[in-house]
Structure 1
Amino acid sequence: MKFALNQMGFPRAELAENATLLADVGYDGIEPNLTADGPLWDDEAVDAFSQQTNDLDLSVPAVSTTLHWDRQLSGADKETRSAGIEAAERMIEVADALGAGAVLIVPAVVDQETSYDEAYDRALSAVQTLARTGDEYGVTICIENVWNDFLLSPLEFAEFIDRAGDAGPVGAYFDVGNVRRFGHPEQWIRLLGERIERVHVKDYRTDIDTIDGFTYPLEGDIDWTAVVDTLDEIGYDGWVTAEVPPYRTAPERLPPRLLGDLVHLFSATEYTDR
């Protein structure tokens, strides 16, 4: 396995500072987010970050974003959907420039304005459009399972990926923690199988059973042994990227402590000397 930290957990404000910190700690990768006014919209900033990661021997597993919660690909308003496509296309360009090979996409949000069937049709059309663009760049469109009231079972998730994948490279960005509230991660992993292109990790406390139940790996109720065994069963040996917030106190302590826990969980013997 290779280990990375998503921007959610960055302890410092500047992307470059976090890259240096993660490289010094021993991470394999850094996963930046495309934000509304962040540096990834600027080509020169992306080129500089690419050069830095190369110098640090640090890879970028994927480019992610939270913009699709507002710029919904399934939104009722055409302008909203177009803004979502624009953001995703920029993510693909950035992923290509950084050698990431994947982007994380939230395909839909089901709410009072957007019914499930409308969300499905719009999301499928949007992801197929992005898959065609991704195919041109050699970038896989990775759909993440999130709390968006959409694709609520592994069988439906797999079918959506297969249908969207007719247009180009589409896979799953499987989030272990996001499943635990209403299912068992190891069962999803087994059913998604080779569709899983990237993995996000965090833990979840079932006694809280709300969004506040998310916590750091080893502090919740996920059966990590089952998760690791099932990933091994399907032959997954790729990126494991933590998506957790920094500590409120001494945030710089999160990256090294978290990497140690990931190494412990996933038995990465090649890290024993780090």
Structure 2
Amino acid sequence: MKIASSQLCLADKGFKESLEFSKACGYEGIELRIKDAGELGINATPAELREVAAMCKGVGITPCSLVAGVSQRGSLLSPVKEERELALHVTQRELEIGAALSINAVLVVPGAVTDKVPYDEAYCWGIDSCKKLAPIAEKLKVAVAVENVWNKFLLSPLEFRSFLDAVSSPYVGMFLDVANMVINGFPEQWLRIMGKRVKKVHFKDFRRKDSKWTPLREGDVNWPAVMKELRAIGYDDFVISEVGGSLADHKKTAEVMLEILKL
């Protein structure tokens, strides 16, 4: 396993600056963020994507994941057709950009359950949407990695597993954030249950007693157990930090991540 940073935690930095910053902190990879426009815009041309790839290579850092940070993303779970179609378009562009940058999986937040989006309908629309994305992902050989986030959806590993199994594609899996379920669960159990369905992993930490995000190894994530299960499922890809802070904080996070990988 190797360590990576995420542009989600580098919002104050320009594109190349975020690459150089991550490299200086000791990360080997970076999770890139697609924006409405700029060096990595949602409508980036093949030539522009080649420039992005060359920039990463020049800095000496590997693009290892991709997330859509555009202003209008829609929802794969929405009962409104136009919202689903927008989300399908954005996710397809993620997959296409990922393929151009040799990224093997992209982060997808499918949407959320709300008072206007009932859980049962969201579940069915989510499966339908992912089934539509599956052949595109399979053709491009880039996985759709649905993340466990605080969206009131897929709240247990058993349910998450059943959802992915209903889609039934090796290119639709899970982006497992080890801290997002700590408030009501245990990441090591999720890893064991999800198994090979896990395509990418976010590292951060969370403390239950005061519901607070913490630096790595200062919260309630059982890191030895997490590492044991990551190895047991054969995960050998990047683990991506979603911990922010100053230059010193990022360097410390990189150091701690390397320590965790040795557990």
TM over 0.5: yes
**Structure number having the greater helix percentage:** 1
Give the match for residue 239 of structure 2.
240
How many residue pairs are counted as aligned between the two chains?
A: 260
Provide the residue aligned with 2:79 in structure 1. 76
Structure 2 counterparts to residues 41-120 of structure 1, below 5 A: 41=42, 42-43=44-45, 44-66=47-69, 71-120=74-123
Q: How does 1:141-156 map to 2 (within 5 A)?
A: 141-156=144-159
Residue 40 (str. 1) matches residue 41 (str. 2): yes
> Does the CA contact (< 8 Å) of 1:204 and 1:220 recur in 2?
yes
Q: Does 1:171 align with 2:173?
A: yes
Shift in Å, 1:58: 1.7
Indicate the residue corresponding to 1:272 in structure 2: none
User: Aligned equivalents of 1:161 and 1:255: distance in 2?
Assistant: 33
Q: Secondary structure at the match of 1:24?
A: helix
| Cα distance in 2 between the residues matched to 1:263 and 1:145 | 24
Q: Percent identity?
A: 31
- Listed as ranges, the gaps of 5+ residues in structure 2 are none
Larger mean CA deviation between 132-141 and 232-241 belongs to 232-241
CA contact (8 A) 1:11 1:252 kept: no
Cα deviation for residue 110 of structure 1 reads: 0.5
Matched, 1:199 2:198: no
Alignment gaps of 5+ in structure 1: 269-274
Tell me which moved more, 37-46 or 14-23: 37-46
The verdict on how the C-alpha distance between 1:56 and 1:37 changes in structure 2, with shifts beyond 3 A counting, is closer
8 A contact 1:69–1:106 mirrored in 2 = no
Q: How high is the TM-score relative to the length of structure 2?
A: 0.92
Alpha-carbon offset, residue 11 of structure 1: 6.6
1:13 alignment counterpart: 13
RMSD: 2.0
Query: Residue type matched to 2:173 in 1?
Result: G
- Distance in 2, matches of 1:198 and 1:100, equals 11
Task: Give the match's secondary structure for 2:210.
Answer: coil
The amino acid across from 1:33 in the alignment is R
TM-score, length of structure 1 as denominator length: 0.88
